[in-house]
Amino acid sequence: MTTLSIIIPVYNEKNTIKRILKLIEQVELKDIQKEIIIVDDKSTDGTRETLERLRDKYAIIFKEKNEGKGAAIKQGFLRASGDIILIQDADLEYNPNEYSRLIGPILDGQADVVYGSRFIGSEPHRVLFFWHYQGNRLLTHLSNMLSNLSLTDIETCYKAFNRQALDKIKDKITSKRFGIEPEITALVAKNKLKIYEIGISYYGRTYSDGKKITWRDGLAAVYHIVKFNLFK
């Protein structure tokens, strides 16, 4: 039986963590068992206490220091034992019901890596911030210029890998914050991994809903794109 490892980096998501876990549990995947790995990045809002009560049900890593999403994801990668590994945010912006489509090209042997793009396809997308949208397009365009790929959404949460692909890149990841997105894309390109995109739905959050990424992270992403494509 194939095992799908689902890595969930968590920081201050007490209002959504139980709900996303329920949604993941409800996903039915034929002949695939799920390994759910939660990495709590030193939450301070009560998330940690919620997860403490779930230790017998899930693999949970409680970090003793807040380092960022990238560090949490890498720790999850190192813990994962699955044949396919997928990243899932805890904030309900991405729908676990799309797992089967996301990992389909990997199961078919066509892809090493699959990105779920928020900017292609006919799935529903919440309409939010103009400048966020333009910023994502700019970052993806810059990344494509330097990596010679033709992606539409490098900043997407939904990235899935077969075991061989992840093993080639996981130990090379150095980003501790949101720089992990361009870094993974640069590593995928440099290792000449076969990458596919699948259109996904997107239920975006506003800052009042708890969204954490800011314009500063966008500026940092430009630096990371240049750094990881040209100097690493």
* CA 148 – CA 157 distance, rounded (Å): 21
Mean pLDDT confidence for 57-69? 96
Query: Which segment of 115-124, 137-146, 163-172, 200-209 scores lowest on mean pLDDT?
Result: 200-209
Question: pLDDT exceeding 90 applies to what percent of the chain?
Answer: 83
Q: Tell me: pLDDT of 216 over 60.
A: yes
* Confidence at residue 206, expressed as pLDDT on a 0 to 100 scale: 65
The predicted-structure confidence for 127-178, as pLDDT tens digits, reads as follows 666 777 888 899 999 999 999 999 999 999 999 999 999 999 999 999 998 8
Dmax over CA atoms of the chain, in Å, equals: 46
Confidence band, pLDDT 50/70/90 cuts, at residue 107: very high
- One-letter amino acid at 149 equals L
Confidence band, pLDDT 50/70/90 cuts, at residue 207: low
- Of residues 116, 34, 39, 115, the one with CA closest to residue 82: 34
* Confidence at residue 232, expressed as pLDDT on a 0 to 100 scale: 77
Question: What's the pTM value of the predicted model, to 2 decimals?
Answer: 0.92
Q: Tell me: pLDDT of 82 over 60.
A: yes
Assess contact for 197 and 117: CB atoms under 8 A: yes
Q: What angle do CA 87, 38, 143 make, to 5 degrees?
A: 25
Structural domains in the chain? 2-230 (3.90.550.10)
The enclosing H or E element of 166 equals helix 163-169
Q: Are strands 84-87 and 2-10 parallel, antiparallel or unpaired?
A: parallel
* Confidence at residue 1, expressed as pLDDT on a 0 to 100 scale: 85
Confidence band, pLDDT 50/70/90 cuts, at residue 212: low
